[in-house]
Amino acid sequence: MRMIVTTIAILGISLGALAQQQEGDHDALRGNVPLLEERTPEPLYEVENNDLRRPRAYPMQPPTIPHKIDNYQVDLNANRCMSCHSRQRVGTSQAPMISVTHYMDREGNFLAELSPRRYFCNQCHVPQTDSPLAVENTFVDVVELLRQRRETQE
């Protein structure tokens, strides 16, 4: 009995997922191409490399990387990003120093070095390309929201 219920449940969920998929959801890996067809790969888009800081969409947003990071090694052995952005290196490199939060462990204690939980830069910071938007974005800046509310109240 339980077996049957489970099977029906799994079937139901996967059918639901399939239905959603067919409605044109974005599949980042393959696009909406049937499994048996080969997808024409998108061109490689140009990576932004102008070294100009982008404004942040909200105060806590990790800043984007305004330069190419091709073949930058970030692993157990070396962290290429830190060879410019660490506290000791910014004098030579004149790159922005990683923020003070990167030196804190999760209890808020300050460490002498980059905290291990912040080691992999690309988990939060990414370069930008000139590719068209993959999905529609309805994000509205909080300042814009406040302004709209003020206007409606007036």
Partner 1 sequence: MIKRIKHLLSTFWRIFNTPSGYFSLGFLTVGGFIGGVLFWGGFNTAMEATNTEQFCISCHEMRANVYEEIQPTIHFTNRSGVRAVCSDCHVPHDWTDKMARKMQASKEVWGKIFGTINTREKFLDHRLEMASREWRRFEANDSLECRNCHDEGAMDFTRQSSRAAEAHRRGLIEGEDTCITCHKGIAHELPDMAGVEGWE
Residues that bind partner 1 (CB under 8 A): 49-51, 67-68, 70-71, 73, 76-80, 82-83, 86, 88-89, 92-95
**125 annotated among ligand-binding-site residues:** yes
**What is the token pair recorded at 50?**
């102008």
**26 annotated among ligand-binding-site residues:** no
Q: How far is the CB of 50 from partner 1 (least distance, A)?
A: 7
Three-state SS across the chain? CHHHHHHHHHHHHHHHHHHHHHCCCCCCCCCCCCCCCCCCCCCCCCECCCCCCCCCCCCCCCCCECCCCCCCCECCCCECCHHHHCCCCHHHHCCCCCCHHHHECCCCCECCCCCHHHCCHHHCCCECECCCCCCCCCCCCHHHHHHHHHHHHC
Q: How far is the CB of 58 from partner 1 (least distance, A)?
A: 26
Compare residues 22 and 77 and give the one whose CB is closer to partner 1: 77
Compare residues 64 and 83 and give the one whose CB is closer to partner 1: 83
Compare residues 126 and 140 and give the one whose CB is closer to partner 1: 126
Q: How far is the CB of 71 from partner 1 (least distance, A)?
A: 6
Compare residues 79 and 104 and give the one whose CB is closer to partner 1: 79
Query: What CA–CA distance (Å, rounded) separates 117 from 59?
Result: 21
Binding residues: 67, 81, 84-85, 102, 121, 124-125
Name the binding residues for heme c: 67, 81, 84-85, 102, 121, 124-125
